[in-house]
């Protein structure tokens, strides 16, 4: 069995076990689709696209990803308790403005209460669209392994990359160039 077929929890446990073992090797071959780095894990998406998926806005309106198909999209999962999410959100705002009209940005909070998420969005200056996923169903769909998690979706709605870990402005620009443009 390859590590790619393991559940996210089993994958993390396998990585921890491998990191703690003393077999003399310094690297772990995770197979195609995985490129680990310290604190960052890139995974293959669990499903091919976002067609049919929905999310709630902070005021409770159900919104369809289908309505966004036609423009490449960056979806960033965040939470008010996540220090790394807070750290990267101003960079996401900056890059969203640089790619305005070319790439659509969407933030999805996994906070349990919208008040916490709204305060964080206001405090970090985010002006792109935001939604809410308190059940973490969308987060599970995208196979997020840690917070923050960012998904890159092409103009047809295909999920091209899911990145768990911090992305600064330069990293984000690079991934947009590689995956979406």
Domain ranges of the chain: 1-32, 35-179
Crossing angle (nearest 10°) for helices 83-98 and 169-179: 60
For the segment 102-138, what is each residue's pLDDT rounded down to a tens digit? 999 999 999 999 898 999 999 999 999 999 999 999 9
Integer Cα distance of 99 and 179 in angstroms: 14
Would you tell me how many other CB atoms lie within 10 Å of the CB of residue 42?
Answer: 17
The correct CATH number of 35-179 out of 3.40.640.10, 3.30.420.240, 2.40.30.260, 3.40.30.10 is 3.40.30.10
- CB 177, CB 83: distance < 8 Å: no
At 6 the pLDDT is 44
For the segment 164-178, what is each residue's pLDDT rounded down to a tens digit? 999 999 999 999 999
Phi and psi, residue 47, nearest 5° = -135, 160
For the segment 21-58, what is each residue's pLDDT rounded down to a tens digit? 333 333 333 333 333 333 444 445 444 789 999 999 98
**Half-sphere exposure at residue 7, Cβ-oriented, CA atoms within 13 angstroms:** 3
pTM for this structure?
Answer: 0.75
At 31 the pLDDT is 36
At 49 the pLDDT is 87
Work out the average pLDDT over 141-157.
93
């Amino acid at each position: 069995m390859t590590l790619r077929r393991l559940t996210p929890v089993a994958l993390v446990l396998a990585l921890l076990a491998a990191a703690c073992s003393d077999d003399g090797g310094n690297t772990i071959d995770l197979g195609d689709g995985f490129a680990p780095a310290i604190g960052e894990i890139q995974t293959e998406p669990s499903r091919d696209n976002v067609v049919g998926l929905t999310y709630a806005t902070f005021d409770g309106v159900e919104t369809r990803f289908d309505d966004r198909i036609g423009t490449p999209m960056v979806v960033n999962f965040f939470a008010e308790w996540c220090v790394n999410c807070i750290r990267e959100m101003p960079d996401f705002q900056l890059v969203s403005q640089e790619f305005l009209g070319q790439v659509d940005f969407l933030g999805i909070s996994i906070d349990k209460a919208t008040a916490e998420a709204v305060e964080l969005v206001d405090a970090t200056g985010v002006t792109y669209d935001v939604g809410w996923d308190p059940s973490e169903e969308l987060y599970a769909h995208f196979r997020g392994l840690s917070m923050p998690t960012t998904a890159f979706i092409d103009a047809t709605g295909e999920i091209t990359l899911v990145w768990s870990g911090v992305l600064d402005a330069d990293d984000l620009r690079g991934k947009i160039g590689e995956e979406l443009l």
